[in-house]
Amino acid sequence: MRELNGWYESESGAVPICLPAKTLLEAVNHMCELDEDFGHTDMEFAWGTLDDFEVVTKLIYKLVEVE
C-alpha cells in the first residue's frame, strides 16, 4: 500500500502526516474530512513508498480546488 507523507500548516503549526491509502484521491478526501483547512495552507507531500515516491503537493492543491 502507498502512503501520503509530508506536512501541512494549521493554526497550531506544522502537522506531520503519514497516511496509508489505496489512492491519492482517497488520502486527500480523508484529510479534507479531518481538517477543512487541508489543501488551503502551506504544505509539502510525497505519495508512494519509501523506495518509489513522487512529490504531489501541486496535485493536492488542484484536487482540493476541484472539490
Segments forming the whole domain that contains residue 27: 2-66
Confidence tier at 67 by pLDDT (50, 70, 90): low
**Helix, strand and coil in the chain, % to nearest 5:** 30, 40, 30
Cβ count within 10 A of residue 16: 8
Q: How far apart are CA 43 and CA 39, in angstroms?
A: 8
Q: How many domains does the chain have?
A: 1
Q: What is the pLDDT of residues 1-59, one digit of tens each?
A: 899 999 999 998 999 999 999 999 999 999 999 999 999 999 999 999 989 999 999 99
- Tell me the pTM: 0.90
